[in-house]
Amino acid sequence: MNIINRSTSRKKIQWLSANSSNDAALKKVIRYKNLIISKGTKAFAEINTELKLKSPKSYKVKQSEILKSESLVSDHLKESILNSAANIKLVCENDRKVLSSTPIETTKGIQVWKEFRSIDSVGIYVPGGSAPLISSLLMQLIPAQVAGCKNIIVCTPPNKSGQISPEILWIAKVFGVKEIYKVGGAQAIFAMAYGTTIVPKVNKIFGPGNVYVNAAKKLCSNDVAIDLPAGPSEVMIVSNDIEKAPIAAADALSQLEHDPDSRAFIISSNLKILKKIKTSVNEQIQQLSRQSVLKQSIENLLLIKAKSFKDTLVLINDCAPEHLILLDEDYSKYLVEVNNAGSIFCGELSPESFGDYSSGTNHVLPTNGQAKVHSGLGVKDFGKQISVQTASSEGFENLKNTVITMAQAESLDAHEQAVKIRQSNANQKASSRSYTEIRKTNETSIYLNLNIDGTGNYNINTGLKYLDHLLEQFSKHGSFDLYLTCLGDLEIDEHHTIEDIAIALGTAINTSLGDRVGISRYASSETLVMDEVKSSISVDLSSRRFLKFKCSQLRDYVGDFPTEMFEHFFVSLINSAAMTCHIDTTGKNSHHLLEATFKTFARCLKKAVVIESFRSSSTKGLL
């Protein structure tokens, strides 16, 4: 524990851990890698024997072991785990919302957006040792599940009796994880990277660990994706309030107790404050239990007197600490200038311990200066963003010459030809009235392509089979080409899916009609009967939004469709399509009532959209 006075010393501060590389550990880890690749599962026992560890009878945790954990974890701890998990999940779900973007129109007729997709299979490593790192499992498992990862496996070392801690197993039980393996250290990383007869190969590996685990992750990083470059834990604390000296000391010790190589930096512009902090550290350390670790890591505590506020900012951004604690209440003046940090804790009531366990932010953070280029672990790390684009005939015409000119400048004539060969298709589409609508909300993602001059082709998947059927009838009876896929929150309720599909379809109708010049516009008293049911519908494509809806009483559900949404579907559709519509459907059979209405509406709309001339269909010259 040393004090550095920046006012008198020009010596460069050594931020990085001196133990970031270990040749002896690397040599051993390389041998373990070769053993796992050549012998697979059999290598576990060989490595365990070498390390004087007992090999379990079964490397895969049995379901009975998972179920037994329920009675081995106290209710008090369960409550704390669930409270922490709820906060972590809340942050993850908020992050997930922005990973898929809504479409933007870059050029008129060109829509681009991003889709987020989860990684197919991920491996989570949870260190063992003197205590189960239950928080580490939560910090990795929850973002993986929020991202949508379907195949999640967990590797963690067993205790001396060959058992996994019940806390780890109980969390696995709560979150439905069944693939848990009693394998630790570098061998666990290699098992997940290359696969064995027991442990499956994964696409990406997550989790902290000791020097052997970190060396293993680096060694296999060309064969499998890994999460973050890991190093010893570190914290930087900034304070100019002498009353907060005991808090600064406690925060430093909370990180130094992790590992002999953990590091802590305390910055103040007042030398007197640093000396008081040093005294407080010496007092508090005597009361802590992890003396064997602290006796070594205390040598990695630096107390730094900054020359000025500006100098403090230089130190922060040069170090890029894993954890940055801005202890004083004027933290905002630092916050706006900090460019490099893994996670920031503002004010005297925000201990770093909150972030380690329960506030909701992730505690898997970049160390050893990597916060200059890396972020902490999050939902984004368990998936990838895929860019998507689509062009209408108008978009094609607007962008084609720009692209052709660029391709010619680079002498890439195949690129040029790939544009020109589409010209006839663009001309054909330009003569039809069609539109692609992509609608994204918090509840649904809808991809819809409508051609009102089509022939009745369709491919529809709304997630509700009876709504699929109704829209298929709309397509066939209106001779509209309709291609629609919807991903919605049907597990909660069907309301958002049905409403958003109606809005998307109405928007596509409205846009496909363009300025509506020369269309028939009116279609009055189109009538269709199905057995005892009679449906009569009239429309006016005047751009005036009005719906008069009348239907006989319906049962609560027809198939999986809630009939309370029947009228609401047409309310949303008519408003989005900008039209007037009168619907009157009578009868007794609920199935027929819905189907007849959709068929009649399609037939009516088909007549109204017919182009009769290029003159306006309104006496005022405007619809």
Catalytic residues: 322-323
Answer for the pair 252, 235: CB distance below 8 angstroms, yes or no: yes
Which of helix, strand or coil describes residue 107? strand
CB neighbours of residue 368 within 10 Å: 17
Q: Confirm if 280 and 240 have CB atoms less than 8 A apart.
A: no
The torsion angles phi and psi of 168, rounded to 5 degrees, stand at: -65, -45
Instruction: Tell me the residue type at 421.
Output: I
CB-count exposure of residue 155 (10 Å: 0-12, 13-18, 19+): buried
Q: Say how far apart CA 217 and CA 237 lie, in whole Å.
A: 30
Tell me how far CA of residue 372 lies from CA of 113, 217, 321, in angstroms: 28, 21, 9
Give dist(CA 557, CA 563) in Å, integer: 5
312 C-beta neighbours (distance < 10 Å), count: 20
Residues linked to residue 536 through DSSP beta bridges, in sequence order: 527, 584
Which is nearest to 307 in space by CA: 269, 271, 273? 269
> CA 475, CA 469: separation in Å to the nearest integer?
10
First to last CA, the chain: 81
Taking the C-alpha atoms of residue 258 and residue 30, their distance in angstroms, rounded to an integer, is 26
What lies within 8 Å, CB to CB, of 24 at 6+ separation is none
What's the token pair of residue 280?
């407080």
What does the alpha-carbon distance between residue 141 and residue 124 come to, in Å, rounded to a whole number?
Answer: 7
Q: In this structure, are residues 54 and 183 in contact, taking their beta carbons and an 8 Å threshold? A: no
Q: Which residue type is seen at 555?
A: R
Residues 516 and 501: their CA atoms lie apart, in Å, by 23
Determine the distance from the C-alpha atom of residue 524 to the mean position of all C-alpha atoms in its chain, rounded to a whole number: 49
Name every residue whose Cβ is closer than 8 Å to that of residue 177 and which is 6 or more positions away in sequence.
Answer: 141, 152, 154, 171
Which class for 45: exposed (0-12), middle (13-18), buried (19 or more C-beta within 10 A)? Answer: middle
